[in-house]
Structure formats: structure tokens, C-alpha cells
Amino acid sequence: MKHASLATLQQLEPLLVRVRGLAGLVERKPGTFYRRSSAFLHFHEDAAGIFADVKLNGAEFERLPVSSVRQRAVFWRALSSALRASQN
């Protein structure tokens, strides 16, 4: 599975705008976000669709589908919840 191309990232732009607005995340290159000094979130694509690899537990990447609007909403809730939990 390859990292998401710029064209694929453009499809995700509304989601990426929301992610860019989150405190504590830094986009080091398009679609690749770090938290502190550690990779935290990036995107992949293949024939099965578009996926986000994110460290929801803070330690290991978990792969979530983000091809559809519904999948992006599920991803957003999981990401927001994980970030809130880690701030407590």
C-alpha cells in the first residue's frame, strides 16, 4: 500500500483542513502529521480505497478507512476522542 498521492490528498482536503486546525499536530509534509516528535497520522491508498494510519492509542498505528463521507466521520470522531483523552 503506497502513501497517498497529492491527487488523493486533494480529495481529502476538507478533512485535512479540520486536522490542520487541531492543536498539537504539525503537518511536516502534505498529509503527514506529527505529534511532538513522533509520526502520528498519514494516509495511504490502494485499489481498496483510501486509509488513514493514526496512533489513536499514542503508540501503534491503526488503519482506518476514509474513502467515503461516512468513513471520514467515523475517523474524525475517533481522532478527536483520542486527542481529548490524551490531554487528560
So what's the pLDDT on residue 63?
97
Range of the domain at 54: 2-87
Number of structural domains (the chain) is 1
Look over the chain and give the mean of its residue pLDDT values, rounded to a whole number: 94
Average pLDDT over residues 16-35: 95
| Angle between helix 13-20 and helix 69-87 axes, rounded to 10 deg | 10
Average pLDDT over residues 7-25: 95
- Output the pTM of the full model: 0.92
- Report d(CA 31, CA 41) in Å as an integer: 8
Residue 35 has pLDDT above 90, yes or no: yes
